[in-house]
Structure 1
């Protein structure tokens, strides 16, 4: 199955959300229309500006007379270097009467340049695909009032996004900062779209399973026996011992996939260190749990027995994909072997039952993937129009337009009702791959756009038949509750970004050493004591307080 022949790619992640302006950004304040917002907004508009008179309350164009906005915009390497010239943004400028100047910043240098712009005061109207963290939102929203609060603006000008907040209470919980305000539009995956939340399952080579006359692994022990068999059998028939039982882009994804077989990580990947202790019904720092030690011991056994790619600690994602395309990997964690390796003979595994009877699929992302995908600054003269601009992409019509364009121009409708891109994209006459050909029309490559991803629209790698089948296997074993990330007060964030970050770094480094054998497991108790002395009690106090706010938002 060739990637560039995968023609019925119907993607959609309903783009984005709508901002709301509270006077001077104070909790409980009540903004008026744009011309009556806070002091910062009033100064930004300038004498003679009247957004209320120029704004259409619904439909297109969004404004009667043309306006322009400047967006600080994160850019994936595979995207166009001039967003304004792509089909979707040229068309939307005509529809909306709003011309956006996209100031493109490569994702590789995004954080540095974004922080520099914020610190210097030389920032634009909007941060778009800018990957603002919850800490950034608190700092530049609640504390410095650079980012405007969106609560009331969403209520008044963002009916599509408001519907999502009402439909998914956890979305509101995850976006609401400790001061009660929302400062951003997120990347949000539908909680019902399980294959998307799984993201990167554990895939196994079905051809090799058949050659070995083995059944699909159902337990940790079954999986271990498969890896051993791959290691000791010349499955590719070349007379060399070059089969790789397991490979991945890093060692951490294997830990996060297997920990559920010991009942750990039971609130999803939004919380990599804390979950809920089912026996005591309280928060648990599970990375020091005796069962987690068993997880690490099992992975260590795989590593020392040569069942894990020896390059697992250093390999880059591109090198991992190239290695996978050679066809010598028995199992791997990736988005989809069809798109990653251009191979279609892998099947996704469900939740493997562990040695104590636990069978939990822990490798599930939180639906609120990126809270700060878009934020409006206090320099924006047209916050209401900006909110309307982004809210369109949270409608079915807007989602279809953003990801597929216009019927007859960029896609056609097949007899069964499914959609596919035109041949200029699927079978480009100049030999471009589908990803390359798409850049003439769209800018969604690389993700991070503010939007809502639903199975109904999205037909990416996570919607291929093998991914859907994997989702069905996993569904009975997903966590009963998946938490979005918690948000912290200024004081809490200071601790978590200093002491908390040091704890995380020390744990990750020590776990790598334990797996590789550089640190013996006989030093486990000493390691646990060290983490506790680093400030674990305070860490858990903060997590408990943040959890209580999260529950009550």
Structure 2
């Protein structure tokens, strides 16, 4: 079950829009949008936007004020670019308390020009669209957001996180890359065993058997496992993906067409085979026996203690798995393309909407087109913009000599503050995996990141239910969803550990799930699918 905030710009788009440093002269779309802005007003029209945002739990952001040096510099660069004085100010609220405080702000009517949220129907403001609090953005985006519209695929705009009934009320800040699936393997162990990278399920089993019976970490014990699981199945879903299924993403069920009926993957007949495969891994000792109680920190420790051959994670977190992080100081980590199918296609995981959060404009905001232009600027290839979001402010975060940028990621200021400008402030995602940034930082291998991006581009499968709104019939029944302690995961664990017969246990679960409200959910989902499925 994924923990990131749930696919996707294509990687080709991500690389060209977010990762490649290009000349500011080559921007036909941006120039057109910029011309529209200057034609609208020939005289200076100052505009200020107060943006309500969580602090991302970043130490620097927690203490950042409205006149913070980075937002000041960002406003100056945008003002110079657009030719209009614009002030973008952020009010940062602790992430742990964000939803509660936003709820209070909306209840009191103290709503700034811009709010960032998980969706336009977040529980903090569930009826704001119906109450006319949010500004409809379709026409503004068509006129002032041409770069945004060009870089974000149409299906993302149809997602209920940003639109309702064809009307757009939110602008997504994408995850970068938008579906950062990663399947990691100890390449040094593969080499030690003289084996090639596993591709098919049989090859994974053969590799795991060798891992189990060979003292690869050299501690005199056969204490290594093939694949490390977490409690609640966080970052543990790869062998569901290998069957073209996923229980759900971001606590929302995934659905597929099964012989003309739209069914959740958790009751898909193929899911029984996937669960049986997990049971096989458990029975053979290829996964950690204590997985039910394994917390995130335990999971990390097992891997970094040289006891795990393969694991799933987020591509953005590759810095967790550099050689120096392992006890042996010898680990070499590589990425795998997924599970090879009989047709030659690899399955790495599902493609999601890739929305980290949503920018929403107050219907009472003045000069709303200017904020759209600000967001649109993030998707242009303006060189000064790229330099700022990549490296920060000259003579504070980096220096320049002979036209070259000198950037030390380990300097005190950058080690504490880079995530603020590279990720939290950047409307178009994050620049952390920008190949130029990665090369200058010298911590990660740019070629490994490129490989991961390629696998994401080629090996993710689509979810027909991606843009289906939350189902009213099970909205208040978490036990029917895909979360820890749900009926499904409880059944999976009991089958894996031998407490339930695989066939009878799964069949009984399906009947129970339907009886508790699943039948109503299936009807509701099929009604939606009949109206929205691709012809």
TM-score, normalised to structure 2's length? Answer: 0.75
Question: Following the alignment from structure 1 to structure 2, what is the Cα–Cα distance between the partners of residues 61 and 452?
Answer: 30
The aligned runs of 1:29-44 (5 Å cut-off) are none
Task: State the distance in 2 between where 1:482 and 1:510 align.
Answer: 23
Higher relative contact order (CA 8 A, sep 6+): 1
Q: Is the 8 A contact 1:11 1:403 kept in 2?
A: no
CA distance in 2, matches of 1:239, 1:457: 40
Moved more, 264-273 or 132-141: 264-273
Partner of 1:113: 101
C-alpha change, 1:300 and 1:88, in structure 2 (3 Å) is: same
Distance 1:244 1:162 in 2: 46
Partner of 1:530: 512
Assess if the C-alpha contact under 8 Å between 1:270 and 1:484 holds in 2.
no
Residue in 1 that maps onto 2:406: 422
Distance of aligned partners of 1:274 and 1:135 in 2 relative to their CA distance in 1, 3 Å threshold? farther
Alpha-carbon distance, 1:225 to partner: 2.3
Q: What CA distance in whole angstroms lies between the structure 1 residues aligned with 2:184 and 2:42? A: 46
| Counterpart Cα distance in 2 of 1:59 and 1:435 | 42
Cα contact 2:278–2:496 (8 A) shared by 1: yes
Residues in 2 aligned to 1:320 and 1:345: alpha-carbon distance in whole angstroms: 18
1:330-345 matched pairs, under 5 angstroms:
330-336=309-315, 338-343=318-323, 345=332
Q: Is the 8 A contact 1:148 1:377 kept in 2?
A: yes
Alignment partner for residue 451 of structure 1, among 406, 414, 428?
428
What are the residue-to-residue correspondences of 1:333-412 with 2, within 5 Å? Answer: 333-336=312-315, 338-343=318-323, 345-353=332-340, 360-366=346-352, 368-370=353-355, 372-397=357-382, 398-405=385-392, 410=397
Question: Which residue of the partner structure matches residue 325 of structure 1?
Answer: 304
Q: Secondary structure at the match of 1:394?
A: coil
Output the CA distance in 2 between the equivalents of 1:314 and 1:12.
41
Conserved 8 A contact 1:83-1:443: no
Gaps of 5+ in 1: 1-9, 15-54, 191-195
Match of 1:240 in 2: 221
Hey, what's the Cα distance between the residues in 1 that align with 2:93 and 2:356? Answer: 19
Indicate conservation of the 8 Å contact 1:204/1:346, yes or no. Answer: yes
Residue 123 (structure 1) aligned with residue 111 (structure 2): yes
RMSD: 4.2
1:116, distance to aligned residue in structure 2 (A): 3.5
Note the C-alpha offset of 1:276: 3.1
CA contact 2:480–2:513 (8 Å) conserved in 1: no
- Residues 134 and 483 of structure 1: is their aligned pair in 2 closer, same or farther, counting only changes over 3 Å? farther
Q: Is the 8 A contact 1:246 1:332 kept in 2?
A: yes
TM-score by length of 1: 0.73
Preserved contact between residue 174 and residue 357 of structure 2 (Cα < 8 Å): no
Q: CA deviation at 1:120?
A: 4.0
2:10 aligns with: none
Structure 2 Cα separation of the partners of residues 500 and 248 of structure 1: 22
Distance 2:42 2:308 in 1: 52
Kept after mapping to 1: 8 A contact 2:17/2:379:
no
Aligned to 2:8: none
1:308 lines up with 2:287 in the alignment:
yes
Q: What pairs with 1:243-258 in structure 2 (closer than 5 Å)?
A: 243-249=224-230, 252=233, 256-258=237-239
Distance 1:331 1:388 in 2: 44
For 2:524, the equivalent position in structure 1 comes to: 542
CA gap of 1:161–1:467, structure 2 versus 1, over 3 A, is: closer
The CA deviation string for residues 428-476 of structure 1, in whole angstroms up to 9 with x for no partner, is: 1x4x7x542525x71615x9x6425798778669983224334556766
